Structure 1
Amino acid sequence: MVGNPIPSDLASECRKCSKIINQFIKPDKGMGPDQMIPPNIIGNAKGIAIMSVLKAGFLFSARAGSGLVVARLDDGSWSAPSAIGTGGIGAGGQIGAELTDFVFILNTKDAVKAFSHGGNLTFGGNVSVAVGPLGRNAEASGSVGNLAAIFSYSKTRGLFAGVSLEGTVLLERKDANAAFYHRKISAKELLTGVVPPPPVAEELYRALNRRV
Protein backbone atom coordinates (compact mmCIF):
# COMPACT_ATOMS: atom_id res chain seq x y z
CA MET A 1 0.00 0.00 0.00
CA VAL A 2 1.25 3.43 -0.83
CA GLY A 3 1.02 6.62 1.18
CA ASN A 4 -1.76 9.12 1.70
CA PRO A 5 -4.80 8.27 -0.48
CA ILE A 6 -5.44 11.97 -1.13
CA PRO A 7 -2.17 13.83 -1.80
CA SER A 8 -2.50 17.59 -1.86
CA ASP A 9 -1.02 18.06 -5.33
CA LEU A 10 -0.74 16.33 -8.69
CA ALA A 11 3.03 15.95 -8.44
CA SER A 12 2.54 13.78 -5.35
CA GLU A 13 -0.19 11.88 -7.19
CA CYS A 14 2.26 11.08 -9.99
CA ARG A 15 4.79 9.68 -7.52
CA LYS A 16 2.13 7.72 -5.64
CA CYS A 17 0.57 6.28 -8.78
CA SER A 18 3.90 5.23 -10.29
CA LYS A 19 4.51 3.14 -7.15
CA ILE A 20 1.00 1.70 -7.32
CA ILE A 21 1.26 0.61 -10.97
CA ASN A 22 4.60 -1.06 -10.25
CA GLN A 23 2.87 -3.23 -7.65
CA PHE A 24 0.57 -4.54 -10.38
CA ILE A 25 3.07 -5.08 -13.20
CA LYS A 26 6.48 -5.74 -11.64
CA PRO A 27 7.05 -9.28 -10.27
CA ASP A 28 8.54 -9.49 -6.78
CA LYS A 29 9.39 -12.25 -4.31
CA GLY A 30 5.75 -12.65 -3.36
CA MET A 31 4.19 -12.60 -6.82
CA GLY A 32 5.43 -13.89 -10.15
CA PRO A 33 4.36 -12.99 -13.70
CA ASP A 34 1.22 -15.12 -13.43
CA GLN A 35 -0.13 -12.72 -10.80
CA MET A 36 0.56 -9.54 -12.74
CA ILE A 37 -1.50 -7.50 -15.20
CA PRO A 38 -0.55 -9.04 -18.58
CA PRO A 39 1.77 -6.78 -20.61
CA ASN A 40 -0.54 -6.84 -23.63
CA ILE A 41 -3.39 -5.45 -21.53
CA ILE A 42 -1.40 -2.31 -20.79
CA GLY A 43 0.17 -2.34 -24.25
CA ASN A 44 -3.25 -2.19 -25.91
CA ALA A 45 -4.84 0.22 -23.43
CA LYS A 46 -6.32 3.47 -24.70
CA GLY A 47 -5.83 4.96 -21.24
CA ILE A 48 -5.12 4.08 -17.62
CA ALA A 49 -6.53 5.41 -14.35
CA ILE A 50 -4.79 4.74 -11.04
CA MET A 51 -6.06 5.63 -7.59
CA SER A 52 -6.08 4.68 -3.93
CA VAL A 53 -9.25 4.65 -1.85
CA LEU A 54 -9.50 4.75 1.94
CA LYS A 55 -12.62 3.22 3.47
CA ALA A 56 -13.35 3.70 7.17
CA GLY A 57 -16.32 2.82 9.30
CA PHE A 58 -17.88 2.60 12.75
CA LEU A 59 -21.50 3.76 13.05
CA PHE A 60 -21.33 4.82 9.41
CA SER A 61 -18.95 4.18 6.54
CA ALA A 62 -16.99 6.75 4.60
CA ARG A 63 -14.88 6.41 1.49
CA ALA A 64 -12.43 8.87 -0.01
CA GLY A 65 -9.70 8.53 -2.57
CA SER A 66 -7.76 10.16 -5.34
CA GLY A 67 -5.54 9.40 -8.27
CA LEU A 68 -5.00 10.29 -11.89
CA VAL A 69 -5.81 9.26 -15.43
CA VAL A 70 -3.64 9.34 -18.56
CA ALA A 71 -4.59 8.59 -22.17
CA ARG A 72 -2.58 7.07 -24.99
CA LEU A 73 -2.05 9.62 -27.74
CA ASP A 74 -2.05 8.93 -31.49
CA ASP A 75 1.75 8.63 -31.54
CA GLY A 76 1.67 5.95 -28.83
CA SER A 77 2.94 8.19 -26.03
CA TRP A 78 1.04 9.00 -22.83
CA SER A 79 -0.81 12.25 -22.20
CA ALA A 80 -0.33 14.65 -19.34
CA PRO A 81 -2.11 13.34 -16.21
CA SER A 82 -5.48 14.60 -15.04
CA ALA A 83 -6.35 14.38 -11.33
CA ILE A 84 -9.41 12.39 -10.23
CA GLY A 85 -11.09 11.74 -6.90
CA THR A 86 -13.99 9.97 -5.22
CA GLY A 87 -15.83 10.15 -1.91
CA GLY A 88 -19.03 9.17 -0.17
CA ILE A 89 -20.79 8.31 3.09
CA GLY A 90 -23.09 5.37 3.79
CA ALA A 91 -24.93 3.68 6.65
CA GLY A 92 -23.22 0.96 8.66
CA GLY A 93 -19.84 -0.44 7.79
CA GLN A 94 -16.90 -2.24 9.28
CA ILE A 95 -14.97 -0.93 12.25
CA GLY A 96 -11.55 0.38 11.28
CA ALA A 97 -9.98 1.55 8.05
CA GLU A 98 -8.78 -0.13 4.89
CA LEU A 99 -6.76 1.25 1.98
CA THR A 100 -7.19 -0.24 -1.48
CA ASP A 101 -5.17 0.56 -4.60
CA PHE A 102 -6.90 0.42 -7.97
CA VAL A 103 -5.74 0.27 -11.58
CA PHE A 104 -8.33 0.77 -14.31
CA ILE A 105 -7.41 -0.20 -17.86
CA LEU A 106 -9.39 1.91 -20.34
CA ASN A 107 -9.86 -0.41 -23.30
CA THR A 108 -11.86 1.88 -25.58
CA LYS A 109 -11.75 5.48 -26.73
CA ASP A 110 -15.24 5.91 -25.30
CA ALA A 111 -13.90 4.96 -21.87
CA VAL A 112 -11.24 7.66 -22.21
CA LYS A 113 -13.89 10.17 -23.33
CA ALA A 114 -15.89 9.35 -20.20
CA PHE A 115 -12.95 10.66 -18.16
CA SER A 116 -12.61 13.69 -20.46
CA HIS A 117 -16.07 15.20 -20.21
CA GLY A 118 -15.48 17.04 -16.95
CA GLY A 119 -18.63 15.67 -15.32
CA ASN A 120 -19.22 12.75 -13.00
CA LEU A 121 -18.29 9.24 -14.13
CA THR A 122 -20.23 6.37 -12.55
CA PHE A 123 -18.70 2.91 -12.76
CA GLY A 124 -21.28 0.47 -14.08
CA GLY A 125 -23.44 3.40 -15.15
CA ASN A 126 -21.65 5.49 -17.78
CA VAL A 127 -19.29 2.66 -18.72
CA SER A 128 -19.06 -1.12 -18.32
CA VAL A 129 -16.47 -2.44 -15.86
CA ALA A 130 -15.16 -6.00 -15.49
CA VAL A 131 -12.47 -7.56 -13.31
CA GLY A 132 -9.38 -7.78 -15.49
CA PRO A 133 -7.49 -10.98 -16.37
CA LEU A 134 -4.16 -11.82 -14.74
CA GLY A 135 -0.92 -13.39 -15.85
CA ARG A 136 0.56 -15.14 -18.85
CA ASN A 137 -2.19 -17.77 -18.96
CA ALA A 138 -4.82 -15.08 -19.55
CA GLU A 139 -2.66 -13.55 -22.26
CA ALA A 140 -2.02 -16.88 -24.02
CA SER A 141 -5.60 -18.13 -23.81
CA GLY A 142 -7.00 -15.18 -25.69
CA SER A 143 -9.44 -14.53 -22.84
CA VAL A 144 -8.94 -10.81 -23.33
CA GLY A 145 -10.67 -10.90 -26.71
CA ASN A 146 -14.09 -9.67 -25.55
CA LEU A 147 -13.22 -6.43 -23.87
CA ALA A 148 -15.26 -4.55 -21.33
CA ALA A 149 -14.83 -0.80 -21.66
CA ILE A 150 -12.76 -0.87 -18.46
CA PHE A 151 -10.79 -3.62 -16.73
CA SER A 152 -10.54 -3.17 -12.96
CA TYR A 153 -7.69 -4.41 -10.76
CA SER A 154 -7.46 -3.87 -7.00
CA LYS A 155 -5.08 -4.70 -4.17
CA THR A 156 -5.64 -4.49 -0.43
CA ARG A 157 -2.66 -5.03 1.90
CA GLY A 158 -0.58 -5.96 -1.13
CA LEU A 159 -2.88 -8.76 -2.32
CA PHE A 160 -5.24 -8.81 -5.28
CA ALA A 161 -8.61 -8.14 -3.72
CA GLY A 162 -11.28 -8.12 -6.43
CA VAL A 163 -12.85 -5.08 -4.74
CA SER A 164 -15.68 -3.59 -6.77
CA LEU A 165 -16.31 0.12 -7.26
CA GLU A 166 -19.65 -0.55 -8.98
CA GLY A 167 -21.81 2.55 -8.59
CA THR A 168 -18.88 4.68 -7.40
CA VAL A 169 -18.77 8.20 -8.80
CA LEU A 170 -15.42 9.62 -9.92
CA LEU A 171 -14.86 13.35 -10.17
CA GLU A 172 -12.37 15.45 -12.07
CA ARG A 173 -10.23 17.29 -9.48
CA LYS A 174 -10.27 20.64 -11.22
CA ASP A 175 -8.58 22.40 -8.30
CA ALA A 176 -5.61 20.02 -8.30
CA ASN A 177 -5.24 20.32 -12.08
CA ALA A 178 -5.41 24.12 -11.99
CA ALA A 179 -2.85 24.32 -9.18
CA PHE A 180 -0.39 22.02 -10.95
CA TYR A 181 -0.71 23.43 -14.47
CA HIS A 182 -0.97 27.03 -13.21
CA ARG A 183 -4.20 27.76 -15.05
CA LYS A 184 -7.77 26.59 -15.36
CA ILE A 185 -7.59 23.52 -17.57
CA SER A 186 -9.98 20.78 -18.59
CA ALA A 187 -9.45 17.03 -18.46
CA LYS A 188 -10.15 16.96 -22.21
CA GLU A 189 -7.21 19.28 -22.89
CA LEU A 190 -4.93 17.10 -20.79
CA LEU A 191 -6.04 13.75 -22.20
CA THR A 192 -5.93 14.83 -25.85
CA GLY A 193 -2.34 16.05 -25.79
CA VAL A 194 -2.91 19.81 -25.81
CA VAL A 195 -0.58 20.06 -22.81
CA PRO A 196 2.87 18.42 -22.98
CA PRO A 197 3.61 15.67 -20.43
CA PRO A 198 5.23 17.13 -17.29
CA PRO A 199 8.70 15.90 -16.24
CA VAL A 200 7.36 14.88 -12.81
CA ALA A 201 5.33 12.14 -14.53
CA GLU A 202 8.37 10.50 -16.15
CA GLU A 203 8.58 7.78 -13.50
CA LEU A 204 4.93 6.95 -14.16
CA TYR A 205 5.48 6.78 -17.93
CA ARG A 206 8.49 4.51 -17.47
CA ALA A 207 6.39 2.14 -15.40
CA LEU A 208 3.59 2.10 -17.98
CA ASN A 209 6.06 1.42 -20.79
CA ARG A 210 7.78 -1.41 -18.94
CA ARG A 211 7.35 -4.93 -20.29
CA VAL A 212 7.29 -7.76 -17.73
Structure 2
Amino acid sequence: MSSFFGKVQAMGSKVGAQAAQFGTQVVAEAQAGSTKAMTGFKLENETLKAARILQAFLADPHHPESALNAIPKEVLARAKGLAIFTVLKAGFVWSGKAGSGVVIARLADGTWSAPSCIATGGVGFGLQIGADLSEFVVVLNSDEALAAFAKGGNVTIGGQLGASAGPIGVGGAVNTALLRPTPMFTYSKSRGLFAGVSLEGTALIERKDANEAFYGQAIPAVDLLSGKVPPPEAASALYETIEAAESIDEAGLPDQAYVVPEGQLGGTAPLDPATGSAGPPTSQGQKLFDATGAH
Protein backbone atom coordinates (compact mmCIF):
# COMPACT_ATOMS: atom_id res chain seq x y z
CA MET A 1 0.00 0.00 0.00
CA SER A 2 2.82 2.36 0.90
CA SER A 3 4.33 1.63 -2.50
CA PHE A 4 1.06 2.63 -4.18
CA PHE A 5 0.87 5.95 -2.30
CA GLY A 6 4.50 6.53 -3.13
CA LYS A 7 3.75 6.16 -6.83
CA VAL A 8 0.74 8.49 -6.53
CA GLN A 9 2.86 11.07 -4.75
CA ALA A 10 5.58 10.80 -7.37
CA MET A 11 3.03 11.15 -10.15
CA GLY A 12 1.51 14.20 -8.44
CA SER A 13 4.93 15.81 -8.17
CA LYS A 14 5.59 15.12 -11.85
CA VAL A 15 2.24 16.61 -12.92
CA GLY A 16 2.83 19.62 -10.71
CA ALA A 17 6.26 20.14 -12.22
CA GLN A 18 4.85 19.84 -15.75
CA ALA A 19 2.08 22.32 -14.93
CA ALA A 20 4.58 24.77 -13.49
CA GLN A 21 6.80 24.38 -16.55
CA PHE A 22 3.83 24.90 -18.85
CA GLY A 23 2.78 27.95 -16.86
CA THR A 24 6.25 29.42 -17.14
CA GLN A 25 6.21 28.76 -20.90
CA VAL A 26 2.84 30.49 -21.27
CA VAL A 27 4.13 33.52 -19.38
CA ALA A 28 7.17 33.70 -21.64
CA GLU A 29 5.03 33.38 -24.76
CA ALA A 30 2.56 35.94 -23.47
CA GLN A 31 5.36 38.37 -22.73
CA ALA A 32 6.82 37.77 -26.19
CA GLY A 33 3.37 38.30 -27.70
CA SER A 34 2.97 41.53 -25.79
CA THR A 35 6.35 42.72 -27.03
CA LYS A 36 5.45 41.82 -30.60
CA ALA A 37 2.10 43.62 -30.30
CA MET A 38 3.86 46.64 -28.89
CA THR A 39 6.34 46.86 -31.78
CA GLY A 40 4.77 45.25 -34.83
CA PHE A 41 1.44 46.88 -35.62
CA LYS A 42 0.77 49.82 -37.92
CA LEU A 43 -1.83 52.55 -37.53
CA GLU A 44 -3.30 52.03 -40.99
CA ASN A 45 -3.98 48.37 -40.19
CA GLU A 46 -5.39 49.26 -36.78
CA THR A 47 -7.90 51.72 -38.24
CA LEU A 48 -9.21 49.09 -40.66
CA LYS A 49 -9.50 46.61 -37.81
CA ALA A 50 -11.25 49.24 -35.68
CA ALA A 51 -13.80 49.88 -38.46
CA ARG A 52 -14.56 46.16 -38.67
CA ILE A 53 -14.88 45.84 -34.89
CA LEU A 54 -17.08 48.91 -34.53
CA GLN A 55 -19.36 47.78 -37.34
CA ALA A 56 -20.13 44.62 -35.34
CA PHE A 57 -21.28 46.74 -32.38
CA LEU A 58 -23.40 49.26 -34.31
CA ALA A 59 -26.72 48.97 -36.09
CA ASP A 60 -26.77 48.10 -39.77
CA PRO A 61 -28.53 50.88 -41.75
CA HIS A 62 -29.94 48.25 -44.10
CA HIS A 63 -31.51 46.42 -41.14
CA PRO A 64 -32.95 49.05 -38.76
CA GLU A 65 -34.16 46.33 -36.39
CA SER A 66 -30.51 45.59 -35.62
CA ALA A 67 -30.54 48.78 -33.50
CA LEU A 68 -32.28 46.72 -30.81
CA ASN A 69 -29.09 44.70 -30.42
CA ALA A 70 -26.44 47.38 -30.85
CA ILE A 71 -24.77 50.32 -29.16
CA PRO A 72 -27.57 52.90 -29.04
CA LYS A 73 -27.53 55.67 -31.61
CA GLU A 74 -27.97 58.20 -28.79
CA VAL A 75 -24.89 56.86 -26.96
CA LEU A 76 -22.86 57.29 -30.14
CA ALA A 77 -24.28 60.78 -30.77
CA ARG A 78 -23.23 61.97 -27.30
CA ALA A 79 -19.81 60.33 -27.31
CA LYS A 80 -16.80 62.56 -26.76
CA GLY A 81 -14.55 59.85 -28.14
CA LEU A 82 -14.15 56.15 -28.87
CA ALA A 83 -11.41 53.70 -27.97
CA ILE A 84 -11.58 50.54 -30.11
CA PHE A 85 -9.22 47.63 -29.59
CA THR A 86 -8.74 43.88 -29.27
CA VAL A 87 -7.20 41.90 -26.43
CA LEU A 88 -5.79 38.38 -26.85
CA LYS A 89 -5.67 36.54 -23.54
CA ALA A 90 -4.18 33.07 -23.09
CA GLY A 91 -3.08 30.96 -20.19
CA PHE A 92 -3.10 27.88 -18.00
CA VAL A 93 -3.03 29.04 -14.36
CA TRP A 94 -0.66 31.79 -15.49
CA SER A 95 -2.25 34.16 -17.99
CA GLY A 96 -0.95 36.69 -20.45
CA LYS A 97 -2.69 39.29 -22.59
CA ALA A 98 -1.77 41.69 -25.34
CA GLY A 99 -3.88 44.06 -27.38
CA SER A 100 -3.88 46.99 -29.76
CA GLY A 101 -6.22 49.54 -31.28
CA VAL A 102 -6.96 53.23 -31.76
CA VAL A 103 -8.70 56.12 -30.04
CA ILE A 104 -10.51 58.97 -31.82
CA ALA A 105 -12.26 62.09 -30.54
CA ARG A 106 -15.29 64.04 -31.65
CA LEU A 107 -14.31 67.57 -32.66
CA ALA A 108 -16.28 70.77 -32.04
CA ASP A 109 -17.80 70.67 -35.53
CA GLY A 110 -19.09 67.12 -35.04
CA THR A 111 -16.46 65.43 -37.19
CA TRP A 112 -13.92 62.92 -35.89
CA SER A 113 -10.24 63.45 -35.20
CA ALA A 114 -7.22 61.68 -36.59
CA PRO A 115 -6.65 58.39 -34.74
CA SER A 116 -4.01 57.78 -32.09
CA CYS A 117 -2.59 54.29 -31.52
CA ILE A 118 -3.09 52.52 -28.19
CA ALA A 119 -1.99 49.15 -26.83
CA THR A 120 -2.33 47.00 -23.74
CA GLY A 121 -0.43 44.06 -22.35
CA GLY A 122 0.42 42.21 -19.17
CA VAL A 123 0.80 38.95 -17.27
CA GLY A 124 -1.31 37.77 -14.35
CA PHE A 125 -2.15 34.73 -12.23
CA GLY A 126 -5.45 32.96 -11.90
CA LEU A 127 -7.31 29.72 -12.48
CA GLN A 128 -7.70 30.18 -16.21
CA ILE A 129 -7.49 27.63 -18.99
CA GLY A 130 -7.76 28.38 -22.70
CA ALA A 131 -7.50 31.39 -24.97
CA ASP A 132 -9.82 34.25 -25.74
CA LEU A 133 -9.84 37.02 -28.31
CA SER A 134 -12.04 39.88 -27.13
CA GLU A 135 -13.10 42.98 -29.01
CA PHE A 136 -13.81 46.18 -27.12
CA VAL A 137 -15.43 49.53 -27.74
CA VAL A 138 -15.05 52.06 -24.93
CA VAL A 139 -17.31 55.10 -25.30
CA LEU A 140 -15.80 58.20 -23.71
CA ASN A 141 -18.69 60.17 -22.22
CA SER A 142 -16.88 63.08 -20.58
CA ASP A 143 -14.21 65.65 -21.33
CA GLU A 144 -12.18 64.18 -18.46
CA ALA A 145 -12.26 60.72 -20.04
CA LEU A 146 -11.12 62.13 -23.36
CA ALA A 147 -8.40 64.20 -21.69
CA ALA A 148 -7.05 61.06 -20.01
CA PHE A 149 -6.32 59.60 -23.44
CA ALA A 150 -5.14 62.90 -24.90
CA LYS A 151 -2.55 63.70 -22.23
CA GLY A 152 -0.57 60.54 -23.02
CA GLY A 153 0.80 57.87 -20.73
CA ASN A 154 -1.45 55.16 -19.32
CA VAL A 155 -5.23 55.18 -18.89
CA THR A 156 -6.54 52.59 -16.43
CA ILE A 157 -10.12 51.52 -17.04
CA GLY A 158 -12.10 51.86 -13.84
CA GLY A 159 -9.10 53.48 -12.16
CA GLN A 160 -8.95 57.27 -12.18
CA LEU A 161 -12.22 57.36 -14.11
CA GLY A 162 -15.31 55.28 -13.51
CA ALA A 163 -16.53 52.80 -16.14
CA SER A 164 -19.66 50.70 -16.47
CA ALA A 165 -21.22 48.30 -18.95
CA GLY A 166 -22.94 50.40 -21.57
CA PRO A 167 -26.62 50.09 -22.52
CA ILE A 168 -27.75 48.31 -25.66
CA GLY A 169 -30.95 48.91 -27.62
CA VAL A 170 -33.35 51.83 -28.09
CA GLY A 171 -36.02 53.71 -26.18
CA GLY A 172 -36.58 55.75 -23.05
CA ALA A 173 -34.45 53.51 -20.83
CA VAL A 174 -31.40 54.40 -22.89
CA ASN A 175 -32.10 58.13 -22.60
CA THR A 176 -32.55 57.75 -18.83
CA ALA A 177 -29.24 55.90 -18.54
CA LEU A 178 -27.60 58.83 -20.31
CA LEU A 179 -28.80 61.45 -17.82
CA ARG A 180 -25.82 60.75 -15.54
CA PRO A 181 -23.54 58.40 -17.45
CA THR A 182 -20.26 57.12 -16.07
CA PRO A 183 -17.19 58.67 -17.74
CA MET A 184 -16.81 55.51 -19.84
CA PHE A 185 -19.22 52.91 -21.21
CA THR A 186 -17.56 49.60 -22.03
CA TYR A 187 -18.79 47.14 -24.63
CA SER A 188 -17.21 43.76 -25.43
CA LYS A 189 -17.62 40.76 -27.70
CA SER A 190 -15.74 37.61 -26.80
CA ARG A 191 -14.90 34.26 -28.36
CA GLY A 192 -12.99 31.37 -26.79
CA LEU A 193 -12.96 29.56 -23.47
CA PHE A 194 -13.06 32.42 -20.98
CA ALA A 195 -16.56 33.15 -19.68
CA GLY A 196 -17.22 36.83 -19.06
CA VAL A 197 -15.06 39.83 -19.90
CA SER A 198 -13.98 42.63 -17.58
CA LEU A 199 -11.86 45.68 -18.37
CA GLU A 200 -11.45 46.68 -14.73
CA GLY A 201 -7.83 47.63 -14.12
CA THR A 202 -6.82 47.33 -17.80
CA ALA A 203 -4.14 49.86 -18.75
CA LEU A 204 -4.20 51.38 -22.23
CA ILE A 205 -0.93 52.90 -23.40
CA GLU A 206 -0.36 55.57 -26.04
CA ARG A 207 1.79 54.20 -28.88
CA LYS A 208 3.97 57.21 -29.63
CA ASP A 209 6.30 55.23 -31.89
CA ALA A 210 3.45 53.87 -34.04
CA ASN A 211 1.95 57.36 -34.34
CA GLU A 212 5.32 58.78 -35.39
CA ALA A 213 5.83 56.01 -37.96
CA PHE A 214 2.48 56.76 -39.60
CA TYR A 215 2.37 60.56 -39.40
CA GLY A 216 6.07 61.01 -40.23
CA GLN A 217 6.87 62.96 -37.08
CA ALA A 218 6.37 62.81 -33.34
CA ILE A 219 2.85 64.19 -32.76
CA PRO A 220 1.41 64.12 -29.23
CA ALA A 221 -1.94 62.40 -28.77
CA VAL A 222 -3.41 65.70 -27.58
CA ASP A 223 -2.70 67.25 -30.99
CA LEU A 224 -4.17 64.27 -32.85
CA LEU A 225 -7.33 64.19 -30.73
CA SER A 226 -7.86 67.96 -30.76
CA GLY A 227 -8.00 68.23 -34.55
CA LYS A 228 -4.60 69.82 -35.21
CA VAL A 229 -3.89 67.02 -37.69
CA PRO A 230 -6.33 66.38 -40.58
CA PRO A 231 -8.05 62.98 -40.45
CA PRO A 232 -6.11 60.62 -42.72
CA GLU A 233 -7.56 58.76 -45.68
CA ALA A 234 -6.42 55.53 -44.04
CA ALA A 235 -9.13 55.98 -41.39
CA SER A 236 -11.98 56.70 -43.82
CA ALA A 237 -13.62 53.30 -43.30
CA LEU A 238 -13.83 54.02 -39.57
CA TYR A 239 -15.45 57.43 -40.10
CA GLU A 240 -17.90 56.00 -42.64
CA THR A 241 -18.96 53.27 -40.20
CA ILE A 242 -19.81 55.86 -37.54
CA GLU A 243 -21.63 58.11 -40.02
CA ALA A 244 -23.77 55.23 -41.28
CA ALA A 245 -24.75 54.20 -37.73
CA GLU A 246 -25.64 57.76 -36.77
CA SER A 247 -28.03 58.04 -39.71
CA ILE A 248 -30.07 54.91 -38.98
CA ASP A 249 -33.85 55.41 -38.78
CA GLU A 250 -35.18 54.07 -35.46
CA ALA A 251 -38.78 55.10 -36.15
CA GLY A 252 -41.23 52.33 -35.37
CA LEU A 253 -38.85 50.24 -33.30
CA PRO A 254 -40.15 49.06 -29.91
CA ASP A 255 -38.57 50.40 -26.73
CA GLN A 256 -36.14 47.70 -25.73
CA ALA A 257 -32.90 48.21 -23.87
CA TYR A 258 -30.60 46.11 -21.70
CA VAL A 259 -27.07 45.69 -20.43
CA VAL A 260 -24.83 42.62 -20.45
CA PRO A 261 -23.71 42.12 -16.83
CA GLU A 262 -20.06 41.43 -16.05
CA GLY A 263 -19.37 37.73 -15.92
CA GLN A 264 -22.18 36.90 -18.34
CA LEU A 265 -21.76 35.61 -21.85
CA GLY A 266 -24.89 36.27 -23.85
CA GLY A 267 -27.00 36.94 -20.75
CA THR A 268 -28.86 40.25 -20.52
CA ALA A 269 -30.34 42.44 -17.82
CA PRO A 270 -33.27 44.66 -18.94
CA LEU A 271 -33.06 48.39 -18.26
CA ASP A 272 -35.81 50.04 -16.23
CA PRO A 273 -37.25 52.87 -18.41
CA ALA A 274 -37.86 54.97 -15.31
CA THR A 275 -34.40 54.72 -13.78
CA GLY A 276 -32.14 53.59 -16.63
CA SER A 277 -30.66 50.92 -14.35
CA ALA A 278 -30.50 47.19 -14.94
CA GLY A 279 -32.79 44.66 -13.32
CA PRO A 280 -31.95 41.02 -12.60
CA PRO A 281 -30.11 39.28 -15.46
CA THR A 282 -32.03 36.93 -17.71
CA SER A 283 -30.87 33.34 -17.99
CA GLN A 284 -27.49 32.57 -19.53
CA GLY A 285 -27.59 32.65 -23.29
CA GLN A 286 -31.05 34.25 -23.49
CA LYS A 287 -31.31 37.48 -25.44
CA LEU A 288 -34.16 39.95 -25.40
CA PHE A 289 -33.62 40.43 -29.11
CA ASP A 290 -31.35 38.86 -31.65
CA ALA A 291 -31.10 40.66 -34.97
CA THR A 292 -30.12 37.49 -36.81
CA GLY A 293 -28.17 38.23 -39.94
CA ALA A 294 -28.03 41.93 -39.20
CA HIS A 295 -24.32 41.90 -38.39
Given the two structures, how large is their TM-score scaled by the length of structure 2?
Answer: 0.65
| C-alpha contact (below 8 Å) 2:88/2:132 kept by paired residues | yes
Aligned position for 1:26: 59
Matches within 5 A, 1:31-110: 32-110=66-144
Q: Name the SS of the counterpart of 2:178 in structure 1.
A: coil
| C-alpha contact (below 8 Å) 1:124/1:167 kept by paired residues | yes
| C-alpha contact (below 8 Å) 1:38/1:138 kept by paired residues | no
In 2, Cα distance between equivalents of 1:162 and 1:25: 21
In 2, Cα distance between equivalents of 1:87 and 1:149: 23
Please state which structure has a larger fraction of its residues in helix. 2
Aligned position for 1:16: 49
| C-alpha contact (below 8 Å) 1:34/1:137 kept by paired residues | no
| C-alpha contact (below 8 Å) 2:105/2:113 kept by paired residues | yes
1:172 equivalent among 203, 206, 215: 206
Q: In the TM superposition, what is the alpha-carbon distance from 1:60 to its structure 2 partner?
A: 0.9
In 2, Cα distance between equivalents of 1:21 and 1:32: 14
| C-alpha contact (below 8 Å) 2:59/2:69 kept by paired residues | no
Aligned position for 2:18: none
Q: In the TM superposition, what is the alpha-carbon distance from 1:138 to its structure 2 partner?
A: 5.7
Aligned position for 2:276: none
In 2, Cα distance between equivalents of 1:16 and 1:89: 24
In 1, Cα distance between equivalents of 2:213 and 2:129: 35
Unpaired stretches in structure 2, ≥5 consecutive residues: 1-35, 249-295
The 1:146–1:81 alpha-carbon spacing in structure 2 relative to 1, beyond 3 Å, is same
In 2, Cα distance between equivalents of 1:144 and 1:71: 19
Q: Name the SS of the counterpart of 1:164 in structure 2.
A: coil
In 2, Cα distance between equivalents of 1:93 and 1:181: 42
Q: In the TM superposition, what is the alpha-carbon distance from 1:80 to its structure 2 partner?
A: 0.2
Tell me the C-alpha RMSD between the 2 structures: 2.2
In 2, Cα distance between equivalents of 1:162 and 1:33: 23
Q: In the TM superposition, what is the alpha-carbon distance from 1:95 to its structure 2 partner?
A: 2.3
Unpaired stretches in structure 1, ≥5 consecutive residues: none
Q: In the TM superposition, what is the alpha-carbon distance from 1:125 to its structure 2 partner?
A: 1.2
Matches within 5 A, 1:175-194: 175-194=209-228
In 1, Cα distance between equivalents of 2:143 and 2:165: 19
The 1:98–1:72 alpha-carbon spacing in structure 2 relative to 1, beyond 3 Å, is same
Quick one: which amino acid aligns to residue 16 of structure 1?
Answer: K
Matches within 5 A, 1:151-166: 151-157=185-191, 163-166=197-200
Q: In the TM superposition, what is the alpha-carbon distance from 1:33 to its structure 2 partner?
A: 2.0
Q: In the TM superposition, what is the alpha-carbon distance from 1:46 to its structure 2 partner?
A: 0.6
2:151 equivalent among 117, 121, 136: 117
Q: In the TM superposition, what is the alpha-carbon distance from 1:123 to its structure 2 partner?
A: 1.1
Q: In the TM superposition, what is the alpha-carbon distance from 1:59 to its structure 2 partner?
A: 3.9
Which stretch of the first structure deviates more once superposed, 149-158 or 56-65? 149-158
In 1, Cα distance between equivalents of 2:92 and 2:175: 44
Matches within 5 A, 1:141-152: 142-152=176-186
Aligned position for 2:19: none
In 2, Cα distance between equivalents of 1:47 and 1:140: 18
| C-alpha contact (below 8 Å) 1:154/1:162 kept by paired residues | no
Identity among equivalent positions (%) equals: 47
